[in-house]
Amino acid sequence: MIFQHDIVIVGAGLAGLRAAVECAGQTNVAVVSKVFPTRSHSGVAQGGITAPLGNEEEDHWEWHFYDTVKGSDYLADQDAVEIMVKDAPRAIYELEHMGVPFSRTPNGKIAQRNFGGHTRDYGKRPVKRACYAADHTGRVVLDTLYDQCLRHQVKFYSENYVLSLIFEGKRCGGVVTYDLATGEFYLLRAKAVLLATGGCGRIYKTTSNGFASTGDGLSLAYRSGIPLEDMEFVQFHPTGLYPLGILVSEAARGEGGFLRNRLGERFMERYAPAVKDLAARDVVSRAILTEVKEGRGIGGKDYVHLDLTHLGEEKILERLWEIASFVRIYLGIDPAYDPIPVAPTLHYMMGGIPTDVDGRVMVDEKGSVIQGLYAAGECACVSVHGATRLGCNSLLDLLVFGRRSGLAMMEEVKKVEAPPISDATLKTMEEQIMRLLNREGGEKVDPLRRKMQSTMMDYSSVFRDEEGLKKGIEEIRSLKERYQDIALLNKGKTFNYELMEAIELGHQLNLSEVILISALQRRESRGAHYREDFSARADRYFLKHTFVFQTPKGPKVRYKPVKITRFQPEARVY
Amino acid sequence: MLIKLKIFRFDPNKDEKPYYQTYEVEADPMDRLLDCLNRIRWEQDPTLSYRWSCGHGVCGSDGMRINGICGLACQKLVKNFREEVLIEPLPVFKVVKDLVVDLSFFLEKYNSIKPYLITKSLPPERERSQSPEQQRLFEEAIRCILRACCTASCPINQNKETESYIGPAALVRAFRYLFDSRDEASEERIALLDHKDGAWGCQTLWKCTEVCPKEIPVTKQIGQIKKRIYESKHPK
């Protein structure tokens, strides 16, 4: 079947829905999502959204600007960061006006809490900057934006899986989707397409990411000849519930919790004397794993304790209800009385599809943009997070750049005619899927995926070195070969998840290779990318963005300079 | 430990009627039932269908009937079950395949209550003021993840004669806006809820409250909606 829209948005998390809300009622917009919209991974965000509102104490956008740039280890593009932090208060008030149920201060304002790396007066001490709704901020914002979409009758293609981006000449003109419920193929023609498909945490064995975070949008762009930027920068959140990897929000430390090792020491005092447990995530993750390496993990194992027992039951239930319920359900522990076992868990991709500050996708390191294609949210790299993202800056990124993409798309669709996309592409995709379904072969999805996940965990996580990264590349390339021989047992048309997971695995293997190659080439340590064989930051050689291109001879790396407008690189100490 | 899962199977494209299939899975007592289902699908039978996404009770994808009680497979641990667990789709809704049900009926009811903040006055430049006490009134209601366990467990919704009842999930969301001090449409909302298939459809049977995976006091909130409707007609 063929459908025509002005704008097609792929992904129904916060970036996609924020863009949809901007366009709703003014132009013909449709949202495609492989899960029902409110099941999107943005909903799992717990802690909050940063904005220097100053509701709890003095704060300024310049401080937020500095913290974000320092957090990024000076790799963020400062023009983009400035846009984001200046727009933050507007983005928050707008959500509040839409109905987001923020927690409140005693005088009725939006409440704010501490979060890692957010400080007053350029690094002096922690500042309360994160606006929150208890510990389910992402979920209530997702619900509110979805409800706004319903109100404005946005068309949803729910449980539709995007198979391909369609180009006509030098324009993107739509997508081909596969309806999971019926097995039908759709061609959605559009004047503009927004990729808002989120991250790819499921490449790793231990992750806070949902099962849907498989990086489809990143890989679809890469396959279409679009480079991927800064993919070596993957963030491990320090406090994943051990051993499951479920997120325990930084809000737990923002509300006063702290980490302890086997000896009961508050070890962050040694690693970050100024802000202690509220240092940036890469710093805390490395500290935890250093404690473990040196034998101070709990019971000699690979985790430490997050101690909330001094906060008291009342505060925990009021501010951290969800987290307390996870700990109770999955570990049988009450955090008011017992410390929580935690270990780093893969959480967020700083890199992604390169875009300008209005979501337009760049096709090269010179900044040339392609018509009709946009990206926003975790799958995009603007870049506002550089080498490490600070907590609560992600939701801000989604809201600010989701909206800006929406505005830019509306401008573009007013000016252009829909490109003539023939239905031939639909037939080609149908044939490809049929071939995959009918292929005879000896490989299965699950063992290959497990091997990929452990390879990425072993060679490309918090600590890296050349030998490991090379081994990882070898391993992933052999998996890519075996993937060619994959065969499916489920030939059905209705909710055939084996088929979807097989396609996802192809994307994941592509992205694994890009991450490893980007990491191998960056012979320095910066933010979340820590090389044991090159442990210092090397601004002289690597103050630049990695761009990886797909070529017939394999991935090719080029570089793009960083935009520095206000803060010159200096040592990053917390 | 070895655990047996007896699972409801039905593919309308090829099966004349539903049947049950039993699988054996090696599991750790701390594993989630969702882990067991994944293992079955990945290692034994890729034709099994169910929805899942976040895996820890936030997204609301994997609601199903577990030993007769509606719940989330990702919130149930293996250690709490004896050797065999009966897994069936949520009742009330039409089965699309195996454990996947058609929720369009549920979503229609949800949409009907106008699930968004309605204001008539212009917003201030900054946030609207709301005290912590005002916010606390509907704080439990915003935990709802639209998993539909409540509506699926409600005897009124299960009864064919009264299935047009709007159901507890839609009422929880209605409560959330009706009791939000920022909302300016209580008359409109009360009119939407004041009929036999609205708030008055509830017969206070508590099943919704028993199964809510987010511990929302659903029945109590429906009671407060009824009280609010009554008070609007009988001003003091």
Q: What is the pLDDT of residues B92-130, one digit of tens each?
A: 999 999 999 999 999 999 999 999 999 999 999 999 999
| Distance between A360 CA and the closest CA of chain B, angstroms | 29
> Which residues numbered 151-170 in B keep a CB inside 8 Å of some CB on A?
none
Q: Which residues contact A93 (CB under 8 A, 6 or more apart)?
A: B123, B125, B126, B127
Task: Look at residues A139, A180, A185, A161 and name the one whose alpha carbon lies nearest to residue A47.
Answer: A139
For residue B116, the chain A residues in CB contact (below 8 A) are 98-99, 144, 147-148, 150-151
Strand partners, A342: A241, A304
Does the beta carbon of B28 lie under 8 angstroms from any beta carbon of chain A?
no
* A480 CB-near residues (< 8 Å, 6+ apart): A509, A510, A513
pLDDT at B22: 98
Query: Smallest Cα–Cα separation from B99: which of B143, B137, B145, B66?
Result: B66
Q: Which two tokens stand for residue A372?
A: 């009709």
Catalytic site positions of A: 281
Q: What DSSP letter does each residue of A295-314 carry, written as one string?
A: T-SGGGSS-EEEE-GGG-HH
Q: Do A490 and B126 touch (CB under 8 A)?
A: no
**Cβ distance of B129 and A181 shorter than 8 Å:** no
Q: Return d(Cα A115, Cα A391) in angstroms, integer.
A: 6
Q: Choose the closest CB to B130 out of A108, A246, A497.
A: A108
Q: Is B56 on the interface with A (CB under 8 A)?
A: yes
- Predicted confidence band at A102 (pLDDT cuts at 50, 70, 90)? very high
| Identity of the amino acid at A340 | I
Does B83 score more than 90 pLDDT?
Answer: no
Residue B111 has which token pair?
């949409």
What is the number of alpha carbons within 13 Å of residue B32 lying toward its C-beta? 21
For residue A67, which of A130, A12, A141 has the smallest C-alpha distance?
A130
Residue of B34, B38, B53, B172 to mutate for A, most A C-beta atoms under 10 A = B53
In contact, B34 and B40? CB cutoff 8 Å: no
Residue A85 and residue A78: Cα distance in Å, rounded?
10
3-state SS, residue A267: coil
pLDDT in tens, B122-139: 999 999 999 999 999 999
Contact assessment for residue A20 and residue A402, using Cβ atoms and an 8 Å cutoff: no
- Give SS3 for A178: strand
Measured from the Cβ of residue A315, the count of other Cβ atoms closer than 10 Å reads 14
Res. A440: pLDDT tops 90: no
SS3 category, B220: helix
In terms of C-beta density within 10 A (0-12 exposed, 13-18 middle, 19 or more buried), how is residue A249 classed?
buried
With beta carbons under 8 A apart, name residues in chain B contacting A109. 126-127, 129
Indicate the pLDDT class of residue A486, thresholds 50, 70 and 90: very high
B132–A contact, CB cutoff 8 A: yes
Considering only CA atoms, which of A508, A510, A512, A486 is closest in space to residue A499? A486
**Ordered DSSP codes for A46-109:** -S-EE----SSS---HHHHHHHHHHHTTT-S-HHHHHHHHHHHHHHHHHHHHHT----B-TTSS
One-letter amino acid of A243: P
Look over chain A and give the mean of its residue pLDDT values, rounded to a whole number. 96
Q: pLDDT tens digit string along A18-36?
A: 999 999 999 999 999 999 9
Integer Cα distance of B178 and B172 in angstroms: 10
What letter represents residue A310's amino acid?
Answer: H
Distance, CA of A198 to CA of A11 (rounded, Å): 8
Burial class, B196, CB count within 10 angstroms (exposed 0-12 / middle 13-18 / buried 19+): exposed
Q: pLDDT value at position A68?
A: 98
Nearest to A44 by CA among A316, A394, A384, A335: A394
Q: Does position B209 have pLDDT exceeding 90, yes or no?
A: yes
| Longest CA span, chain A | 68
| The pLDDT value given to residue A169 | 87
Residue B61's SS3 state is coil
Measure the CA–CA gap between A423 and B161, rounded to whole angstroms.
47
CA distance B44 to chain A (A): 10
> pLDDT confidence of B224, banded at 50, 70, 90?
very high
Indicate the pLDDT class of residue A396, thresholds 50, 70 and 90: very high
Average pLDDT over residues A467-486: 97
pLDDT band at residue A425 under the 50/70/90 scheme: confident
pLDDT of residue A422: 87
Residues of A in contact with B34 (CB under 8 A): none
Rounded Cα distance, A298 and A306, in Å: 11
Chain A touched by B44 (CB under 8 Å): no
- H-helix or E-strand spanning residue B234: none
d(CA A243, CA A240): 8
* Helix, strand and coil in chain A, % to nearest 5: 40, 20, 40
Out of A43, A144, A490, name the one closest to residue B59 (CB): A43
Read off the pLDDT of each residue in A252-278 and give the average, rounded to a whole number. Answer: 96
pLDDT of residue B58: 93
Name beta bridge partners: A236. A346
User: Average pLDDT in the A427-439 region?
Assistant: 94
Query: With b meaning 16 or more CB within 10 Å and e meaning fewer, what string describes A162-179?
Result: bbbbbbbeebbbbbbbbb
pLDDT, tens digit (0-9, with 9 covering 90-100), for B177-194? 999 999 999 999 999 999
Q: Is the pLDDT of residue B236 over 90?
A: no
Average pLDDT of the segment spanning A66-78: 98
Compute the C-alpha angle A67/A73/A78, nearest 5°. 65
- pLDDT, tens digit, for every residue of A335-358? 999 999 999 999 999 999 999 999
- Which residue in B50, B53, B51, B5 sits closest to B26, CA to CA? B5
Confidence at residue B82, expressed as pLDDT on a 0 to 100 scale: 86
Instruction: Say whether pLDDT at A60 is over 90.
Output: yes
| pLDDT at residue A41, rounded to an integer | 96
DSSP state of B74: G
